[in-house]
Amino acid sequence: MNFAVIGSGGREHSICFKLKQSPKIKRLICIPGNAGTREIAENINININNFDEILAVIKKFKIDVVIVGPEEPLVNGIVDFLKNEGIRVLGPDKFSSQLEGSKAFMKNLCKENNIPTARFGIFEDFQSACDFLSKSKTPIVVKADGLAAGKGVSICNSHNEAKIKIKEIIEGKYKSSNKVVLEEFLHGEELSYFVLADDNCYKFFGSAQDHKKVGEGDIGPNTGGMGAYSPSNLITAELELKIKKEIIEPTLKAMKDLGHPYSGFLYAGLMISGGKPYLIEYNIRMGDPECQVLMMRLKSDLVEIADSTTRNNLQKTKIEWSENKSITIVLCAKGYPGKYIKDSEIKNLKDLKIDNDNQVFHAGTYIKDKKILSNGGRVLNITSSAKELIDARKKILTNLDKIKWDDGFYRKDIGWRAIKNENN
Ligand code: AMP
Ligand code: GLY
């Protein structure tokens, strides 16, 4: 079969890696891809929001199934557009994509369906937001309603700080929307829970824990994710049942009742507080860097899974996971998540140990004159699997030591909470 993957991050590289393992894959293209996907797929340099050009390439290469990595084309309706042309796509339609594209949509859906989430208010004017604020405790979470490339959430420790953030959003800092969501701060530990759905059913698609803060010990500003491990050590049979019954199933039912059965990957960002799951956010796609660890652990054939899901045959498809645990550490460009160095050469990648348990997924890289150069904040995902997390992390750190890149940095403590438990 011929597949196209849309996107250019570590997530998309790991999806290509998994598709490429299938005996059923014939042609694999990545739009636009990076220096890593170039090794296993044909990179086609097209803007991911130029649907007409994407369609032309998909027709030219006789693509059977398209997998969309990032949220932006999904929110912009790429699934509706391609399905209209008779093309099979793994991902939700434009309406369902509001689960990530509009926090107001997601929060209202939670409220209407009794899905546990932080108490909240949605506002379009500064004064009403301030009235709500005056009755709220700190810390308080201020969120832009629309897509904000991971930058629209602020945890504010004072009302004054919150007012500044509210004003910015209402005055149009984020082009996607100027509504603001104010939310109670939830204490607890975060868990990324994934399912895959078609029009008829859904299946568990792994659990993971991301590390959003830039600094070791989870300090400093938020990032897109500095590393992840899978499976999450928070998951128990009892918790999983609550996640399914209280969060996933009511959501899927609500989307069906709204006339838009959700299909594709659904990523629930949860806060586990006192043994109870609360929905913090939905993402309508795989997580990055969570996808990288899940693709290492997925035993089943991703070509078959995507093929059957896009035919609404998911029910009959087995999704099996390795017992091994996996970690990915994100190698970033110095300065990230602020202004970072670009076009800096990364050396010695050829010296790394690479096999089925040890992979390097590229995120922000390109190739020029046979050299690997950086062009993003998150640049490489060094990823390993082992029986125990601590061993997976050791293997990653050994590989990282071999990379010669003075302009890079990474967290050595990814998985620290779970590893602490592993040792007890
Ligand atoms: P979001 O984009 O909604 O996932 O928010 C980004 C990050 O902010 C989350 O991964 C959490 O770490 C944090 N966050 C968001 N909402 C809350 C909340 N209500 N309580 C505590 N932390 C939150
Ligand atoms: N790992 C966070 C995200 O993919 O949004």
Helix (H, G, I), strand (E, B) or coil at 122: strand
Strand, coil or helix: 137: coil
* 215 and 283 housed in the same domain: yes
Contact 284, 94 (CB under 8 A): no
Ligand nearest to the CA of 224: 2
Ligand nearest to the CA of 330: 2
Whether 186 lines ligand 1, by a CB cut-off of 6 Å, is: yes
101 located within any domain? no
pLDDT score at 424 = 61
Which ligand 2 atom is at minimum distance from the Cα of 289? 1
Q: Is residue 102 part of a domain?
A: no
User: How many domains does the structure of the chain reveal?
Assistant: 4
Residue 185: CB within 6 Å of ligand 1?
yes
Q: Count other Cβ atoms within 10 Å, centred on residue 184.
A: 15
| CB 68 near ligand 1, within 6 Å | no
Q: Among the three residues 316, 338, 364, which one is the final residue of a domain in this structure? A: 316
What is residue 342's predicted lDDT score, i.e. its pLDDT?
Answer: 95
Task: Note whether residue 208 is domain-resident.
Answer: yes
Looking at 262, 285, 316, the residue that finishes a domain is 316
Question: Does residue 386 belong to any structural domain of this protein?
Answer: yes
3-class secondary structure, 385: strand
What pLDDT is recorded for position 159?
A: 94
Let me know whether 331 and 385 are in one domain.
yes
**Residues 211 and 414: beta-carbon distance below 8 Å:** yes
CATH code of the domain covering residue 199 = 3.30.470.20
Which residue has the least CA distance to atom 6 on ligand 1? Answer: 153
The CA-CA-CA angle for residues 296, 386, 272, to 5°, reads: 75
Residue 267 buriedness (CB in 10 A; 0-12 / 13-18 / 19+):
buried
Determine the residue of 290, 291, 329 to mutate for testing ligand 2's pocket, defined as the one with the most ligand atoms within 8 A of the Cβ atom.
290
CA 125, 131, 136: angle at the middle one, nearest 5? 120
- Pick the atom of ligand 1 nearest to 152's CA: 2
Judgement on whether residues 418 and 376 belong to the same structural domain of the protein: yes
Q: What is the pLDDT at residue 149?
A: 78
Which protein residue's CA is at the shortest distance from atom 5 of ligand 2?
Answer: 287
Q: State the distance from the centre of ligand 1 to the C-alpha of 139, rounded, in angstroms.
A: 12
Ligand nearest to the CA of 191: 1
198, 305: one domain: yes
Q: How far is the CA of 334 from the centre of ligand 1 (A)?
A: 24
Q: Is the CB of 141 under 6 A from ligand 1?
A: yes
Q: Identify whether residues 55 and 140 lie together within a single domain.
A: no
Q: Measured between alpha carbons, how far is 312 from 287 in angstroms, rounded to an integer?
A: 23
Residue 110 inside a domain? The answer is: no
pLDDT for 56 equals 98
- CA of 59 from ligand 2 middle (Å) equals 31
Under-70 pLDDT residues of the chain: 423-424
For residue 173, what pLDDT is reported? 87
Question: Whose Cα sits closest to atom 8 in ligand 1?
Answer: 153
The verdict on residue 104 lying in a domain is: no
User: Does one domain contain both 353 and 308?
Assistant: no
CATH number of the CATH domain containing 51: 3.40.50.20
Are both 134 and 163 inside the same structural domain? yes
Q: Whose CA is nearest to atom 4 of ligand 2?
A: 287
Asked if residue 194 and residue 250 are part of one domain, the reply reads yes
Domain of residue 61, residue span:
2-92
User: Do 204 and 270 lie in a common domain?
Assistant: yes
Q: Is 288 in the pocket of ligand 2 (CB under 6 A)?
A: yes
C-alpha to C-alpha distance for 249 and 241, rounded to whole angstroms: 10
Asked whether residue 293 falls in the same domain as residue 345, the answer is no
Query: What pLDDT is stored for residue 423 in this prediction?
Result: 66
Instruction: Please compute Rg for the chain using Cα positions.
Output: 21
Domain boundary among 316, 333, 354: 316
| Distance from the alpha carbon of residue 277 to the mean position of ligand 1, in angstroms | 14
Identify which of 105, 145, 281 to mutate to test ligand 1's pocket (most ligand atoms within 8 A of the CB).
281
- Is residue 184 in some structural domain? no
CB 166, CB 172: distance < 8 Å:
no
Instruction: Please answer whether residues 143 and 103 qualify as being in contact, where contact means their C-beta atoms are separated by less than 8 angstroms.
Output: yes
Give yes or no: residues 231 and 300 share one domain: yes
CATH classification of the domain holding 372: 3.90.600.10
CB-ligand 1 contact for 280 (6 Å cutoff): yes
Write the CB contacts of 349 (distance below 8 Å, at least 6 apart in sequence). 360, 372, 403
Pair 196, 307 in one domain: yes
CATH number (domain holding residue 131): 3.30.1490.20
Dist CA 108 CA 160 (whole Å): 27
Q: Does residue 106 sit within a domain?
A: no
**Nearest listed ligand to the Cα of residue 225:** 2
Q: Is the pTM of this model over 0.85?
A: yes
Sign for the CA dihedral angle at 37, 39, 40, 45 comes to: positive
**∠150-189-248 over CA atoms, to 5°?**
75
